[in-house]
Amino acid sequence: MAPSSYEAFTDRNWEQEVVGSPLPVLVHFCADWCVPCRTVGRSLQSLAESYIGRMRMGGLDVEANAATTERYKIQGLPTLLWIDGGQVRERRVGLMAHEDLKQFLDDRLNGASFSA
Residues marked active site are found at: 34, 37
In the chain, how long is the greatest CA-to-CA distance? Answer: 35
By C-alpha distance, which of 26, 43, 23 is closest to 80? 26
In terms of DSSP H, where are the helices of the chain? Answer: 14, 35-48, 66-71, 98-109
Q: Report the C-alpha gap between 48 and 81 in whole angstroms.
A: 15
